[in-house]
Structure 1
Amino acid sequence: MKASWRKPAGAITILLLILVWVVLVASFSSQIGALPILIQMVIYVVLGIVWITPLKPLLRWMETGNWRLPPS
């Protein structure tokens, strides 16, 4: 079985996505830090979940080469 270039490319893309997301969220940390603690918690929980959204199609592409599910 021949090794695919998609898996290393996808892994690098995931790492870059995490890096960009961390820098983006950290750039707003002073504004978020000024909010009440419960609102901060909600914001950080939502931001911690949102970055996962683009991973499903990326992982699908890494495995199959297609971004979308085939029509059923």
Structure 2
Amino acid sequence: MPLRLKKLIGTILLVTLVVFYAIVATIVAVAQLAESSWVVHLAYFFFTGLLWVLPAMAIIKWMAGPKAQP
């Protein structure tokens, strides 16, 4: 697969991931954390704010393709 096509697909996947993840994280927060303290909210949004990086790293790694041979 050409690198430009992989980058286009990866970009679309990253944008979709971020939008979908933000919506799901917000829905969970509203449904489950309505009566929780500010510390619980802080911890939840801290961890969910970092958790999306794992699938994003996999997509970016796939977009970059194999390393060039020296």
Give 2:64's aligned residue.
Answer: 63
Q: Distance in 2 between matches of 1:63 and 1:20?
A: 23
Q: Which runs of 5+ in 2 are unaligned?
A: none
For residues 1-72 of structure 1, the aligned pairs below 5 Å read: 4-30=4-30, 31-64=32-65
Relative contact order (C-alpha < 8 Å, sep 6+): which is higher? 2
Aligned-partner residue type, residue 36 of structure 2: L
Question: 1:25 Cα deviation (Å)?
Answer: 1.0
Detail structure 1 runs of 4+ shifted over 4 Å in the superposition. none
Q: Distance in 2 between matches of 1:53 and 1:32?
A: 24
Identity of aligned residues (%): 15
Give the paired residue count: 65
Give me the TM-score of the superposition, normalised by structure 1. 0.78
Structure showing the higher helix proportion among its residues:
2
